A and B are shown apart, each in its own frame.
Chain A
Amino acid sequence: MKKTVAKFEIQYVQILNEKGEVDKKLEPKLSVKQLKEIYKWMVLERTFDNTALMLQREGRIGTFAQSLGEEATHVGATFATEKVDWVFPDYREHIAFMMKGVAIKDLLTHWGGSEDGMKLPKNTNMFSVCIPVGTQTLHGVGAAIAAKLQKKKFASLTFVGDASTSTGDFHEGLNFAGVFQAPAVVVIRNNQWAISVPRTCQHADWGGCQTRAETLAQKGIGYNINSVQVDGNDVLAVYSVVKQAIDNAKKGKGPTLVECVTYRLGPHTTADDPTRYVDSKTLKQWEKKEPLTRFKLYLKKKKIWTEQFEKQVRKEAKQLVDKGVAEFEKHKPKPTDMFDYVYEKLTPNLKAQRLEWE
C-alpha cells in the first residue's frame, strides 16, 4: 500500500506591488501617523547606511555591513513588535536597534571597534549584534521558551540571513520552537547572497549555492511551524505577516517562520567586492524593485507623501545621523575594560594581568 500521509504548501504574500499598487483586501490598517513613521525609519536606515559607508571609506569606523535594499524587511518586522518583545538581530539590521531605542552613537561605537557600543540601554529588550550566522536562532527561541515558562507576555523576533538556514543551529532552533510551542518569530532576510555564494543553484547537478529547496520558508514545515514567504521589499506585507505572527505567538498559537525575499543591493561588507560575482543585469532588475521607491509611491497615492514631507524626513534623518557621528567621535574606550567585563569579579590571574598592563 502507498498513500500520501502529509502534504504541504507555502503561501507567498505581497500587498504592495512594484508599482506601488496595493491589494485592498490585504492592506493593513495603519494610521497616517504610523505610515509616516515607517517611511521615516526606512529613510533613516538608508541615511545611516550611506554615512556609515563613508565613515568606513575614510577609516573612521571598521568593516561595515550595509543594509541597502533590505529596509522594508528590517523596518516592517521590527515595527510589528511591541516594547516588551525581544529582538535578536544578526549584524545587518541597524534600524532595528534604533527602533528599539538604541542611540546611533552606540551603533557607530560598535562598528567603530569598541564593545562599549553594545552596552545597550537598560530599558530595551534588544539583544546585541550576533556575528556567527544562525547561532542566534537558539537565543531567540530560548528567550521565547523562558517567556512561556515565566508566563510573561512577550514574543521574540529573531533575524537570520538566508545562509543561516544552512546551519545546524537554525534547524535546532526551529525544532525547539516547534517542540515547546515557543512564542518565537524567526525572520529570514533572504537577500539572495552569502558573500559570493548565491541562495539559488546555478547548476543542475552540482553545488555553488546555498540550498536546492524551492523556498527557505519550507524549512519550517519540517518542524510543523507556520511558515510563510513574503515579498521582503514590500514593507506592508512584511509588517502584516510579522504582526500576525507576533500576535499569534503571544496568544499561545506557537512560532512562525517568515521568509522575506529581498536583495542585497550592496556588498556583503565593506571588505567585499561584489563586482567579482554579481551579474550587473540582475542587480539592475532588483534596483527597480527596491523598497523605498515602492512605499513612497503608495504614500503618494494616499496623499501622505509630498515634496515638503520628503525634505523634512531627509533633513531630520541627516540631523540624527550627524549628531550620532559627532557623539561617536568623542568616544574613547577605557583599556582596562577589556579585563573588567570578562567575569563579574576579576579572577586572580586577570587581576595580575590588569596590573601588568597598567
Chain B
Amino acid sequence: MPKLNIVESVRDALDCEMKKDKSVIVIGEDVGLNGGVFRATDGLYKKYGNKRVIDTPLAESGIVGSAIGMAIAGLKPVAEIQFDGFTYPALDQIFSHAARIRNRTRGRYTCPLVVRFPYGGGIRALEHHNESPETYFAHTPGLKVVIPSNPYDTKGLLIAAIRDPDPVIFMEPKRIYRAVKGEVPSKPYTVEIGKAKIVKEGTDLTLIAWGAMVRECMKVAESLDNVNVEVIDVRTIKPCDYETIFKSVQKTSRAIVVHEAPLTLGFGAEIAAQIQERCLLQMNAPVLRVTGYDVPFPYFKLENEYLPSEERIINAIEMVMNY
C-alpha cells in the first residue's frame, strides 16, 4: 500500500473522483499549471485539462459564487480557497446561498459543493494565513464541516465530501500537511462524515481534538505514565458525533477539549455544553478547554506562545485529575 502524506492524499482523492465522475471539477486560484500553492492539485491540470482544473481570477466570492451556479447547473465543483483567512470574502456566498439553497427551495435545488482550504497556524506564515474559522461554518445550518488529521482519513473524508449531496467545508491542517505519512489505499474509499474516531483508548480522561491538535494530544497521551488518556479525533465537527464522545466521557468521567481557534464560542464550548447536558452526573470534574487565546492570531514570532502546547495540555490534565 502506498504511503502518502496529507497533501498527497488530498490530490489522490481529487484524482479518484475526477476519474470516476466527469461532473467533478476543481476550481480556484493557482490550482492549474502551478498545482496549487501547497501542490494539492499537482498533476491534475495535465491529466484532466483546463476545463476541469480551472484557474480563476483572484476573487474568493467569485470562486464560491460561480461554483454555486455550476452546482445548480449539474456540476460537482471542488473549490480551493488558498488560505483560511481568505475564506472570509466568500462567507456571504457560503452562508447566504450554499447553505440555504436546499432549504429555500424545499429540496428542488441542492448545492453539492466542496470548499476546501488549508487552515491553522504553526508554519511561520504571514497574517491571515493561520486562522481556524471552523466555528463560523459549524454555526451555520446547512453546512457540514470536516477536518481530517491524517492521510487515510483525508482521502476517505474528501471522497465522502465530494459525493455528499450537501455543501461541505473541508479544512486541511496545513501544519501537518507533510508531517505524517501513512498507508493510503490507491482505490477510492470513503470515511463516513459524522463519525468520530477513538485514536487511543484510555480509562482516566478523554482528550477531544481535531486537525493538527490530534497530534499534540497523542504526544501528551503517550508521554504520561500516571494518567491513562483516551484521545478522540472528532474528524467532523458538523455533524458532530456526540454519541462517541458521550460514551467515552461516561467511561473516563473527565474531558478536555483542545483546539487552535480562540476560546470564546470555539467549538469546544459546544462540546462542553453537550457533555454537561448528557453526562453531568457521571463527571468527576468540569470539562476544560485548552485553546487559542481570544486574540487575533499573532505574527509568527509569537505563534508558539498562542497555539495550545503539550505543556498547556498537561497542566489542564493535572487540574482535571486533581479536581
Contacts and interface: CB of A to CB of B under 8 A. Distances in A.
Interface of A: 86, 88, 115-116, 118-120, 122, 127-128, 130, 132, 135, 137-147, 149-150, 156, 168-169, 172-173, 175-176, 179, 337-338, 341-344, 347-349
Contact of A142 (B67, B144, B165): B67
A343 B107 CA distance: 9
Contacts of B141: 342
Nearest to B193: A347
16 contacts: A118-B108, A128-B101, A135-B65, A135-B93, A139-B68, A139-B69, A141-B66, A141-B69, A146-B73, A146-B74, A168-B59, A173-B66, A176-B57, A342-B141, A344-B165, A349-B240
Contacts of B75: 146, 149-150
B226 interface: no
B104 to A, nearest CB: 6
Given A115-B104, A343-B102, A349-B239, A86 B73 contact: yes
A158 to B, nearest CB: 9
B282 interface: no
A172 B166 CA distance: 24
Given A141-B69, A341-B103, A344-B110, 18 more contacts: A86-B73, A88-B69, A115-B105, A128-B101, A128-B104, A142-B73, A143-B70, A146-B70, A168-B89, A169-B92, A176-B59, A176-B66, A341-B102, A341-B107, A343-B142, A344-B102, A347-B194, A349-B240
Interface string B70-81: 111111000000
Interface residues of B, number: 48
B251 interface: no
B61 interface: yes
A333 B25 CA distance: 37
A132 B51 contact: no
B72 A127 contact: yes
B61 A168 contact: yes
B73 A147 contact: yes
* A-B pairs with lowest CB-CB distance, top 10: A142-B69, A138-B65, A172-B62, A142-B66, A146-B73, A347-B239, A119-B106, A139-B69, A143-B73, A143-B69
B131 to A, nearest CB: 21
Contact of A145 (B69, B92, B144, B243): B69
A215 B285 CA distance: 67
B322 interface: no
Contacts of A349: 239-240, 242
Interface of B: 23, 25, 51-52, 56-57, 59, 61-62, 64-75, 89, 92-93, 96-97, 101-110, 141-142, 144, 165-166, 194, 238-243
Contact of B65 (A128, A139, A342, A344): A139
Given A115-B104, A135-B97, A176 B56 contact: yes
Contact of B105 (A120, A135, A145, A342): A120
Contacts of B104: 115, 118, 128
A168 B59 CA distance: 9
B139 to A, nearest CB: 12
A264 to B, nearest CB: 24
Given A115-B105, A118-B108, A128-B105, A172 B73 contact: no
Contacts of B108: 118-120, 122, 128
A343 to B, nearest CB: 5
Nearest to A334: B106
Contact of A343 (B59, B71, B166, B243): B166
B109 A115 contact: no
A169 B61 contact: yes
Contacts of A135: 65, 92-93, 96-97
Given A127-B109, A342-B102, A342-B103, A348 B243 contact: yes
Contacts of A145: 66, 69-70
B106 A176 contact: no
B32 to A, nearest CB: 13
A277 B141 CA distance: 39
Contacts of A86: 73
B60 to A, nearest CB: 9
Nearest to A343: B166
A142 B57 contact: no
Contact of B72 (A118, A139, A149, A173): A139
